[in-house]
């Protein structure tokens, strides 16, 4: 990224791991996800609108930026962006090369709201994921690639956990001891070592320990 870049080998490794996890998650939901032509671009601009509410845009009332929620929405958008890129049929290596390059080439936008609108505009007008605009959003909300990776693995693991515990048939319990599962995730993911090779496995087991029996 423009002012907080990682060595390319590390960045490539993280992006490739996230691409592989995204492919696995999409396949968990539907074996034919590539043939289904889901509107990933639409999910991006809808998430952008939701994120803007968390960031604040209403000039007629006092609003404070909910940074953790904004970052979580960015992570969700990255899921959809990775899915769009995987839909091209290009190899994971080629896609990761492209994304790493884009995340190092921000547009130097200084207004988060405009950066977010650039991201949404690409999704609406071109049905695409704008890596440079995404980079601007990350920079302006103090989120580097390491943090994106940590939160992505966390949310991806929660998504798998949901599927394994009845999310599709409606039997999944979303509120755990008075907290939504996303809130529990945000707490436990900070207690684990994201650099560990067993990070995803340990996180899944921790979620299992917290899940209402």
Domains of the chain in sequence order:
8-164 (1.10.4010.10)
Task: Collect all residues with Cβ–Cβ distance below 8 Å to 14 and sequence separation of at least 6.
Answer: 6, 145, 146, 149
Residue 145, pLDDT score: 92
Task: Using alpha carbons, select from 156, 111, 172 the residue that is nearest to residue 136.
Answer: 111
CB neighbourhood size of 58 (10 A): 9
pTM listed for this prediction:
0.85
Coil, strand or helix: which one is 36?
Answer: helix
CA distance 17 to 150: 12
The kind and range of the H/E element at 179 are strand 179-180
Residue owning tokens 């995404």: 134
CA dist 12 and 14 (Å) reads: 5
Contacts of 125 (CB under 8 A, 6+ apart): none
Position 5 scores a pLDDT of 54
- What does the pLDDT read at residue 6? 56
Q: What pLDDT sits at residue 134? A: 96
pLDDT in tens, the chain (213 residues): 444 455 678 889 899 999 999 999 999 888 999 999 899 999 999 999 999 999 999 999 998 998 988 998 999 999 999 999 999 999 999 999 999 999 988 778 899 999 999 999 999 999 999 999 999 999 999 999 989 999 999 999 999 999 999 998 999 999 999 999 988 998 888 888 887 878 889 999 999 999 998
**What sign for the dihedral angle of Cα 45, 50, 53, 59?**
positive
Q: Cβ distance 77 to 47 under 8 Å?
A: yes
Question: What is the predicted pLDDT for the residue at 7?
Answer: 63
């Amino acid at each position: 990224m423009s002012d907080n870049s990682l060595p390319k080998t590390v960045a490539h490794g993280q992006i490739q791991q996230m691409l592989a996890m995204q492919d696995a998650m999409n396949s968990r939901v539907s074996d034919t996800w590539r043939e289904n032509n889901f509107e990933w671009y639409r999910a991006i601009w809808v998430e952008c609108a939701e994120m803007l509410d968390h960031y604040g845009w209403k000039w007629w009332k006092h609003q404070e930026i909910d940074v953790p929620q904004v970052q979580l929405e960015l992570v969700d958008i990255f899921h959809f962006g990775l899915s769009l890129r995987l839909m091209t049929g290009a190899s994971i290596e080629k896609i990761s090369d492209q994304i790493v390059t884009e995340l190092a080439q921000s547009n130097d936008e200084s207004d988060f709201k405009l950066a977010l609108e650039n991201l949404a505009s690409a999704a609406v007008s071109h049905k695409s994921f704008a890596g440079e605009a995404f980079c601007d959003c990350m920079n302006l909300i103090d989120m580097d690639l390491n943090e994106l990776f940590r939160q992505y693995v966390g949310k991806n693991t929660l998504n798998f956990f949901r599927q394994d515990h009845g999310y599709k048939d409606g039997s999944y319990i979303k509120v755990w001891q008075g907290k939504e599962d996303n809130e529990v995730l945000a707490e436990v993911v900070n207690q684990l070592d994201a650099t560990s090779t067993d990070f995803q496995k340990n996180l899944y087991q921790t979620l299992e320990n917290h899940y209402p029996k």
